[in-house]
Structure 1
């Protein structure tokens, strides 16, 4: 069986339709249809019920889902392991939100190098939807993000709380003007922001990566909600200023991983994220806001 057939099956399962799967895989819808048809012929059963609402798994499709995940995961692990030098016993792929690669995840990389030097690491930046897609397809071992989507057989475990504080480059400027940069920290942030500031127009400048907003503010001025752990030093040096009486918005950070993975290197990586997450929660407790006041 062609591994790409299994990938396509997982993509359709995650997207819920052939069009979405084609977009995620960067192939045509007809190619998706042909692959699924061939796969169903090879297995001798229908895997999806097609309809106007999309493509839903049949009972046989649900049974095949676990096997497809194992196939893709085994292939990716084999491809990774074959390329490992003799100094490594296993490989691990972790993908995380870009803001979490600033400060937190590099600590985990260092922890892994100290605690499990025989594990080869593949480290990537991603967004929630892509990370979850990679988890479903077996391309990623662990994901770290703000707002995970619920998926069967994938755990979403809290590791620490990210405190976002409204920062500005000038105390004299009204933060609500056109210099405000609205960062897409995910649906949870967008919902909290809309509830607290229903009348604020956020259409002037929108970005999906926090570091880009910080670059724009540092170079040209402006305001944005930014992670407190990343701006404490800027507050202390008076390069940026907290907006007076603005509410903190707290986002939980989660790690996601397959529930059926019991390998030692996966367990070790999860242990490190738990320990460092607990330290992060303690270090940046909401009760310790002396640098924000």
Structure 2
């Protein structure tokens, strides 16, 4: 079967619409419909029911979803195997969300270099939605993201229960709005931050990337929210201080991989991620939306 048919089917499932699938695939809606008809002829079953709201799966379509995902993954795995570097048995490709890659990806690469020398390593950084789409399409083995959406055929495992804390270069450890730096940690953080600090919505300086905001604050001084584990060394050295009484925001990291993934390749990658995030192996869990919690008086 033409692998393009399976990819088109999965895109319709993900977008819920022939129209949106055509836009995402950069083809006409007529081409999408033609591919679905060809696929239905191959399977001798109707896969979608189309209506004004979009397209919903039939029972046969639901049954085929997992197989389509596996077809794409097997094809992509075969392509990777054909072009293996000398001395490597397989390839593992991992993608990390922009706000989470530093220092996780470097730590993972260093560990995998010694713990899994038989694997060729590929790393990428991108947006959560795009990374998860690629896992579903079979072009990415593992995605590390903050707030993954559940999708058919994918597994989600909690890696790190990180939190965002307010830190400052001021020895007084108090918040001064004039030197506040807003770091964009995503829409969930933005919503909760707006409720907690409505007067800081329009900060004088904003950074769309955590490492950029961190280096700015360390160089110029100021106050901002950062991931606690990344900033702990600066807190320990006294270069930064926790702002007293400031709320904390949960910022967990999840690993997303396909149910039908080749675990001989994915398992070592997950073990490496657990090791560098210092989390013991756990069962796959559903994502939990971040929440605002108040630190204890001693925090």
Range of TM-score over shorter length: 0.7 to 0.9
What's 1:283 paired with? none
Distance, in Å, in 2 between the alignment partners of 1:7 and 1:272 is 30
TM-score of the aligned structures, taking structure 2 as reference length: 0.80
Unpaired runs of 5+ residues, structure 1, are 281-288
Distance, in Å, in 2 between the alignment partners of 1:32 and 1:175 is 55
Secondary structure at the aligned position of 2:24 is classed as helix
TM-score of the aligned structures, taking structure 1 as reference length: 0.81
Unpaired runs of 5+ residues, structure 2, are 281-294
Secondary structure at the aligned position of 2:160 is classed as strand
How has the CA–CA distance of structure 1 residues 38 and 161 changed in structure 2, closer, same or farther, with 3 Å as cutoff? same
Deviation at 1:137, TM superposition (A): 1.5
Matches within 5 A, 1:178-257: 180-187=181-188, 189-198=189-198, 200-202=200-202, 208-217=208-217, 223-235=223-235, 240-257=240-257
Contact 1:94–1:122 under 8 Å retained in 2: yes
Q: Which stretch of the first structure deviates more once superposed, 17-26 or 253-262?
A: 17-26
Distance, in Å, in 1 between the alignment partners of 2:180 and 2:29 is 42
Distance, in Å, in 1 between the alignment partners of 2:11 and 2:98 is 24
How big is each residue's C-alpha offset from its partner over 1:137-173, in whole Å with a ceiling of 9 and x where there is no partner?
Answer: 1222111111111123322111222121223456799
Distance, in Å, in 2 between the alignment partners of 1:213 and 1:51 is 46
Deviation at 1:81, TM superposition (A): 0.6
Distance, in Å, in 1 between the alignment partners of 2:250 and 2:12 is 34
Deviation at 1:44, TM superposition (A): 3.6
How has the CA–CA distance of structure 1 residues 228 and 116 changed in structure 2, closer, same or farther, with 3 Å as cutoff? same
Secondary structure at the aligned position of 2:245 is classed as coil
Matches within 5 A, 1:1-293: 1-168=1-168, 175-177=176-178, 180-187=181-188, 189-198=189-198, 200-202=200-202, 208-217=208-217, 223-235=223-235, 240-261=240-261, 263-278=263-278
Contact 1:80–1:91 under 8 Å retained in 2: yes
Number of equivalences? 282
Deviation at 1:96, TM superposition (A): 1.0
Distance, in Å, in 2 between the alignment partners of 1:62 and 1:89 is 34
Q: Tell me how large the CA RMSD over aligned residues is.
A: 3.1
